[in-house]
Every structure is written in structure tokens, then in C-alpha cells.
Amino acid sequence: MHNKLAVTGGSRRFFKGKLCLAGLLMLLFWHLLPIQGLAADGGRQVVRVGYPIQLGMTEVDEQGNYSGYTYEYLEEIAQYTGWDYEFVQVEGDLNESLVTLMDMLEKGEIDLMGGMLYSSEMEQLYDYSSNSYGIVYTVFQVLYDDTDYVNDSQVEKTLRVAMYGQSRKHKEEMEDYCRMNLQIPQIVPCTTIEEHLRALQEGRADVMLNTSMNYIEGLRTVARFAPKPFYFVTSKGKGGLLTKLDEALHSIEQTDPYFMTTLHEKYFNPSNKELKLTAQEKEYVENTEPLRAGVLTDLPPYSYQDKESGELKGISVDLLKAIEDKTGLVFELVPVENEEALAEMTAEGRVDLIGGMSYDYEQARHRNMAMSRPYISTQYMILLNNKMRNEEIAGRKLAILASYDYQGEFVGSPVYYDSREEIVRAINSGEVDYTYMDAYVAQYFYNRSEFENLYVAPQMLQENRTCIGVSKPASPELLNIINKVIITMPEKELQSIIYSNTIYRSDITLLEMVRRHPLQAVAVAAAVLLVVIGVLSWGVVTREKLNRKISLELKKHQELYGLVNDYFFEYDLKKELFTVSGKKEGEKHENNVVYRLFPERIADAPENGKYREILRRIMHSGRDGVEEIQLPGINRELHWMRIAMKNIYDHKGAPVCVIGRISDINEEKQERDRLKNQAERDSLTHVYNAKTSVRLIQERLDQLADGGTGALILVDIDKFKTINDTYGHMEGDHILCEVAGILQDSFREGDIVGRPGGDEFIIYMERIRDTRTLGDKCERLLQRISEIRMPDKKSLTISLGAVLARPQNDYDSLYIKADKALYRAKKEGRNTYFIA
């Protein structure tokens, strides 16, 4: 495993002779760039790239689409160099293809190769880029569900390390790390990746030695050490190509310092959304009294106090409630009037944490707070009086909080206020001209009808990230628990919290209408004195004006929504009319998936009858929140869409429209389904793996009603060890696949076929009436398997143990009965079955 991660330095002869030994291949990155020539069309330089197929680094799917860490780096380099690439692949496994491609690179038959560690010996054969494009670490990994590993450098302990084929260098790095951390390594030798995993699963090893670039599903990294940069290399004498390469690498680093980290996270550290607490964290939850959480009452929509009920509400409040639900922690919410009072309370130890604070190291040090990971990132907006929308702000009156600790220079003239609402009222009245606010805070006030003179514009120079602050000295367990909840919280759950707090419900009253439209109100009063026809005429005119004003407001909102990537919609419940933001001038509906899925009227898409009804039910359900549904797109293929929505009510409390956001999550959904299927299937035979088989069979057993029956069958290939020893493991694997194929073909779609391990298979059948029917099935299965021929033309045979399942049976008891029946069948000479 580890010897396939990167190439260490060494002579070509040494590399060829020792390629299969541990230590020569360490990284798992290889990209070889095209030849240094000119394409026939336009004279663009074509660079030939060696492309060995390697997970995470250089991959090609069945449609010929390239992907991987090195591939994306090369494409980014091409943005600066203008290169085209010819990706060169050769036959053979990874080791063989690497040797061949390195020979071709030395001879100049290809131009570029990636994923190379530096060594003086290799430098004699190839030219290295001046800049590296990644770092590989030696790492300790554990099963993702293992929450017991703790690296306590103050206590000496033995550490059982699963490893195989490691180079002397790898072993020395591991021993150095263990020595520094008072760990005594005890090697658990393994020969395959599967054996590594079994050693962890069976508790024979505490950790597995790996490298950071060798991604294995189901593992997580708990320690990394011995960093080693890796480089691109070229054939000798290609100075011009190497110069362009170095310039491009330098430009990428200067333009986006996080490009390397982002790619590494994408291909070698995918996020996991399952919350797992360690034993220490669970103990902390059980033994901790309610924690006092300071919550500002003047920071809507993050946190505020409802003026009518006095209840604390907001994004931060709902997030703390989510943490309580997910972990068992208990928070006592402490309302705080302003930032200054909150700073005093944290300094005096009257609160244990802050529900929402800016993710700012300087501010955290000043407050003596530790910070969680950010849970929201938004840009700052400029909130202006309408009269200022086309004016310069230099020299104008800037409204800021009195508690705002800023010692720098101001573009405008600062005017201080005690709360954010006071600032907004001052801007709305024209007392001051503008202020800077977080986008969600600005949107909250902008959506309130009483503030009719506000204008919001994006301010792109800075972003605001919000986190939870924990008073120092902070408990590591508490900080870990909060961070784990934030990191593993599903995006749709977080977005639901945000939308439920950022959509402001405004009740338009007659008094509010008179205040906002005094001239029209006077006209109405005067019209009452006139004849009825005059009153009706005025009503028509007023309605038209109101429609135009609403249309203008909607256009303003659409322009604001256009600053983000997703689509926002409004659905009129009475007219069944969709209005979707983001449509460009002249763009036809059929050119956009969103418009195909959401025509202006649902009735305008008669061919999508059932989907039209699904949409209608969702829109008329009266629920707020997030829905994920499949709908037909522009080519009538189904797309997965995520709809986050909020109902808007009139002054009578009746729903009038639904507003929200639409996101196309088709690729995200397909990727999740693919990963789920991959996690549930055996990698060799593609039937269910052991863990999934147990879970699915137990679910079917739980669903058995009174009088229902099923059957559990264990299948064991006769003398499979002899087959492996005689014909080799490759032939053994082929036979396993053939058996799996026959089993899948022999049972119904609703039946479960799995492989617990080795040469054993398990089947669960639904609705089996009696042992006679079960026996007939076993007989047919024996006959079909006998049609498989081994290399010596002999028939393959199997032994079967079966048992009928009844209500209240559990998996373990059934498995024991079936296993005893299987043993009876093998004892009676194999190639038969026995029903318990």
C-alpha cells in the first residue's frame, strides 16, 4: 500500500531493480505532461504528460474524463502557460507503468511527470521544478468510528501499529514520532490493505501507518508527521518548459495560497457528516452542568429578543439548540444588551460562551476567548439612505456602534449609537448617511417595511465569519464537541436555520400604509366625499401604482439576489405563479433548468402531470423549511433539486405566497448515492458486504408480521483453499465473482445476497412458504453452481446451510442455526444442503 504513494530518489537502475520493495513508491501522484511541440492549429504548445492511473492523483472514468489532484494542478498551470496536454498512458499495473513512463521521460519521449520526491540521484536523471506543488505526510490512521484513540504525550504507552512493506525511512520516521510522544511502537505485520483494516476492526492494532495521499474509505487521520514536498520533473534539457512551469506554479501560489490545500481536501480528505464523540467527550457531556451562553439582544437575525414574547431568537440561538439536541449539552441563554456589556460579562466569568462572535483572532485575544470553527461566512454590505445611492461616501456621516473598538481612520465622519436598530433608524430618517453591516443583518432590516428609505449595496473588500466563542481556559472537550457539530451539520439543516431567521414577516397595517403613502391616503379621504364612481376609479389607480411599486421592489431584490449563485423564487399561492430571480435579459426559459422545472404557471407544463402535483402540494403545504425532490429538466431527465422555502402571510394571518431558494443538487445527490453504494458493496464481487448484509437482513426480520416467513441460506465453496493453492488467487477471485453472479441471478430483486468474507456467501429470501420450497431452491442452486468449470474442467461445488425465518427471530440466532446446518452439509460430504 504505502510503496505506491510517491517515488523516492534513486538511480534508474536501482529504481527498476527494487521497484517492488517498500520505500521506492511513496506518494501516489503521477502526471506526465505533453510533448514540447507545436499543435498544427494555431501554434499552441502541446506538452506530453505521463499519466499512470492512480486513485486520487491521476484518474480516468469510463467516458474518458480525467480527474485527480495532479490533473487539476496541470489544468490550472495551463491557464498561465497556454499549454495543451497529451496524456500518455501505458499498459501494466501501477508499478510497471511508472517504470515505463520514467524511462520515456529520461529518453525525452514525454516531457513532464508529477509526484516526485527529491533526491540527488534522481536529479542526475531529471530536472526538478523550483516550486513544489504538494506535501505528503506519513500518518497514523484509525477507523472513522474509533473515538478512543488519544495521543497523550505525557504518558508512556505501547502503540500497536499495523504496517507492511515499509521502507527503512518510513519506519525511522514513525519511530522518531513515537519517541517524541512517549509511545512504544509494536509492529503488527500485514500483507494487504484488507489485512490492515481487519487488524483495526478486530482490535489487533491501534493505528495503521499510511501516507496522506493514499485515501482509504472509512479511515481518518489522527496524527501526521515527516512532511515531504513533491515536484514536477522534466527531461534534461527542457529549460524553456521548466521556466514556464515554475512561473505558473509561482503565480498560482501568489494568486490563491489555498489552492493546494483545497485540492488536497477534495481528493484525500473528503468530509464526513456523521457526528462521533470520544469517550472523554461523552464523559464531559454527562458531568457538565448547564453552560451559560451570552446572547446579544440587538444583533438580528443572529440573536435578538422578541419584543412581544421576550423570547430569545435568531440563528445563533437555533444553532445552540441544535447542539443541545445532537450532543446532550445544556445551555442556559443569558440575554445581553450590547457588545460592551457582553465583554464585561466574559471578563468577569459570568458567561461560559458567546452564542455568536466574529471569527477574528485579535478580537478573541482581547476578549480572552477561544473560537469554534465558523458556521456562517457572509460579505459586508453598505447600508445607505436612498438619497445616497449614487453619491460618494467620502466625508459623509458614518453610523457606528459606540462599543466598536476601532482605532484606524474613517472615510466618513463617525457618529456613534448604542444599538444597531438605532443606527438603521438614523439612516432611514436621514440623520446619518450610511453604515457597514453583515449581509444577513442588513437584509433583516432592509426587509422590514418601516424602513422604506434604505438601500443596500455589496461591499466586496471584506467578509464576516461568525463562530461560537468559549471562555478561556476553554475545555478542549467542549471546543471539540461544538466544532464537530458545526463540521458535520448537513448543509440543508444549517440553511434551514438561516432562512427561518432571515425572512422577516411584515404585517402591513392601515396605519403603516398611511404613513408610507400620505398623498394617496389624503386622496382616499377626499374621494370618500365624492360619488361612488370616483371612489372606485381612485381604487383602480391606487392598485396600479401599488403593483408598479411591488414590481420595482421585486426588481431590486432580484438584483440583490443576483449576487449569489442560487436562484430565489416567489410563488403566488392564489395565482399559482412563479417569479424566479437570476434570469438574464433575453434568456429563454428552455435554456435554463430552473425555468424548465418551474414554468411561470404550473399548468403551463401539462406533460409533467405528476411532478406538477408534487410541486403544488409542496407549495400549498404551509410548511417552512427544506425539501429535496426529483423533477424533470430541459431534456426531460430527472434532476434532484433542493427547495428552501418560507411562507409569507397577510395582515389576517392567511398565507399569500411562498418565497425561497432553489438549488440544483443533482451531481451532489448522484455522488452521495454512488458513495453509499460503494460503501455497501463488496469490492470484488459487488454483492453486499458483511456489515450491510447484517443490517439489511435484520431490517427484513424486524418487518416480518405474524404469519410471515423468510429464509436464511449460508453458501460455502467446497475446498476453496485448494483452488487458491492450485490455480492461484486470481483464479480464486474469478470463481468468487462467477458464484456471486449466479447467486444474484438466481434470486429475486427483493432478496439479499451478501458476502460476509472469504469464500462464504449469505442469502436472505422473502416469503418462503415451507422447507420444501426452500429445498427446491437449494437443489437448483447446487445445479447452477456445478455449471462453473475450473481450469481442469471439473465442476465447482458448494455446500449450503439453510433455516426458515419466523416473526421475532433475530439475525444472530438464525445465523447460528444456518451455520450449524452448513457444517452438517459439509460433514455429509459437501455438494449438498441441509435445512435446520
| Domains, the chain, ordered by start | 2-135+232-268 (3.40.190.10), 562-669 (3.30.450.20), 681-835 (3.30.70.270)
pLDDT of residue 505: 53
pLDDT of residue 815: 92
pLDDT digits (tens, 9 = 90+) for 250-307: 888 888 877 888 888 788 876 566 788 888 888 999 999 999 999 999 888 899 988 8
* CB proximity list for 542: less than 8 A, separation 6 or greater: 520, 523, 524
- The least confident of 374-378, 406-410, 679-683 is 406-410
Compute the average pLDDT of residues 28-36.
34
| Burial of residue 765, with CB atoms counted within 10 A of its CB: 0-12 exposed, 13-18 middle, 19 or more buried | buried
Is 594 a residue whose pLDDT tops 70? no
Instruction: Compute the distance between CA of residue 470 and CA of residue 464 in angstroms, rounded to an integer.
Output: 19
Give the pLDDT band (50/70/90) at residue 151.
low
Which one is catalytic: 146, 360, 759, 819? Answer: 759
3-state secondary structure of 342: helix
pLDDT: is 359 or 514 the higher one?
Answer: 359
Is 22 a residue whose pLDDT tops 70? no
With CA atoms as reference, report the closest residue to 218 among 130, 142, 310, 302: 142
Determine contact, residues 190/196, Cβ cutoff 8 Å.
yes
pLDDT of residue 107: 92
CA Rg, the chain, in Å? 34
Can you say how many angstroms the Cα of residue 564 is from the centroid of all Cα atoms in its chain? 20
Q: How far apart are the first and last CA of the chain?
A: 43
Determine if the pTM surpasses 0.85: no
Compute the average pLDDT of residues 400-406.
74
Give the pLDDT band (50/70/90) at residue 595.
very low
Give the pLDDT band (50/70/90) at residue 165.
low
- The least confident of 240-254, 285-299, 569-583, 764-778 is 569-583
User: 582's torsion region: left (phi>0), alpha (psi -120 to 50) or beta?
Assistant: left
pLDDT digits (tens, 9 = 90+) for 687-733: 899 899 899 999 988 888 777 889 999 999 998 888 888 888 899 89
Instruction: Compute the distance between CA of residue 653 and CA of residue 624 in angstroms, rounded to an integer.
Output: 15
How many Cα atoms within 13 Å fall on the side-chain side of residue 412? 19
pLDDT digits (tens, 9 = 90+) for 344-376: 899 899 999 999 998 888 888 888 999 998 888
Which three three-digit cell numbers place residue 795? 465442476
pLDDT digits (tens, 9 = 90+) for 117-134: 888 888 899 999 988 998
Is 620 a residue whose pLDDT tops 60? yes
Beta strand residue intervals within 548-651, DSSP E: 567-572, 577-580, 625-632, 638-649
pLDDT digits (tens, 9 = 90+) for 452-497: 888 887 765 567 889 999 998 888 889 989 988 988 888 888 888 8
507 a catalytic residue: no
CA dihedral 445, 449, 454, 458 (to 10 degrees): 50
pLDDT digits (tens, 9 = 90+) for 561-577: 555 556 777 888 888 77
pLDDT of residue 711: 93
Which is it for the CA torsion 68, 73, 74, 76, positive or negative? positive
pLDDT of residue 167: 67
| Burial of residue 89, with CB atoms counted within 10 A of its CB: 0-12 exposed, 13-18 middle, 19 or more buried | middle
Determine contact, residues 649/655, Cβ cutoff 8 Å.
yes
**β-bridge mates for residue 85, sequence order:** 47
pLDDT of residue 608: 60
3-state secondary structure of 645: strand
